[in-house]
Structure 1
């Protein structure tokens, strides 16, 4: 059986914030490991991180932290 693909569209801000979060959680595997019930979940998250990394140029920019902060600010609900 051929595997079906799922296409998800994200705004640039969503992709950048999600990439940052996924990267951070991967670096803190001991804190995050309790949430992983199956190695397949970890693999899916790694694959998603790799897909986002291929699409985004922001992570290699000198002002990466600023770009993430700005994206977070735009995504937050207004208070």
Structure 2
């Protein structure tokens, strides 16, 4: 089997939000097994999490919480459009497209950017 490495490009906001989510799932909730039943998938999840942790200085900033929320808001606005209105944590804007409606082949297009690279 070919072991050629694959490069995934994320914006800083995407990386920051994903890193936080992975941390919550893997270490705070200890529920990785409940979310990802096939342990073979854990290997790439740990590799992505480790790469993000090594790359992101944001995980060490003193105002982590507010900066994380700001990054989430920017991503929501980018994904759902500028008309997106902020909601309570965990809520979704009414009528906003759900992530599962984005075609598998096009989901990466929204996040591809050369910003910050």
Normalised TM-score (structure 1): 0.86
* Residue matched to 2:53: 53
Which one has a bigger Cα radius of gyration? 2
In the alignment of these two chains, the number of paired residues is 78
Structure 2 residue runs without a partner (length 5+): 85-117
Computed over aligned residues only, the root mean square deviation of the Cα atoms, in angstroms, reads 1.5
More helix by share: 1
Structure 1 residue runs without a partner (length 5+): none
Q: Structure 1: which 4+ aligned runs deviate by more than 6 Å?
A: none
Higher relative contact order (CA 8 A, sep 6+): 1
Normalised TM-score (structure 2): 0.60
